[in-house]
């Protein structure tokens, strides 16, 4: 005997679920929590994509700063060190 359709873990399509009235408060709560979890996961994935692009940009800026630092004269390197020591991190 195969699994019953009620024990299936795959959610029904939205059109079918809209036609079925759900009267159980517990079932409504489960569906509400699953929907909220889905929205939070989507938000998390968007934030990760944004963070990845920011990390890429930060790495590019650090490379650019390092290249500019390599072109400094001895006097400018001393000035840079003094400036770095003066700023809190």
- Give per-residue pLDDT as tens, 43-59: 999 999 999 999 999 99
**Residue 80 CB contacts under 8 Å (≥ 6 apart), including other chains:** 69, 72
* Residue 69 lies in domain: 17-86
**What is the 8-class DSSP label of residue 69?**
H
For residue 23, the model assigns a pLDDT of: 81
Residue 26 lies in a domain: yes
Is 9 inside any structural domain?
A: no
User: Does 10 map to a domain?
Assistant: no
Per DSSP, helices labelled H in 1-89 are: 14-19, 25-70, 74-86
Residue 80 and residue 69 in contact, taking contact as beta carbons nearer than 8 Å: yes
Asked whether residue 5 is assigned to any structural domain, the reply reads no
CB 68, CB 80: distance < 8 Å = no
Mean pLDDT of the chain: 84
Over pLDDT 70: what percentage of the chain? 74
């Amino acid at each position: 005997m195969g699994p019953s359709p009620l024990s299936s873990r795959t959610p029904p399509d939205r059109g079918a679920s809209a036609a079925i009235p759900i009267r159980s408060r517990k079932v409504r709560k489960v569906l509400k929590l699953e929907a909220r979890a889905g929205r939070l996961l989507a938000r998390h994935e968007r934030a990760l994509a944004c963070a990845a692009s920011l990390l890429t940009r930060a790495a590019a800026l650090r490379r650019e700063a390092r290249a500019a630092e390599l072109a400094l004269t001895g006097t400018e390197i001393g000035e840079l060190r003094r400036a770095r020591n003066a700023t809190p991190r």
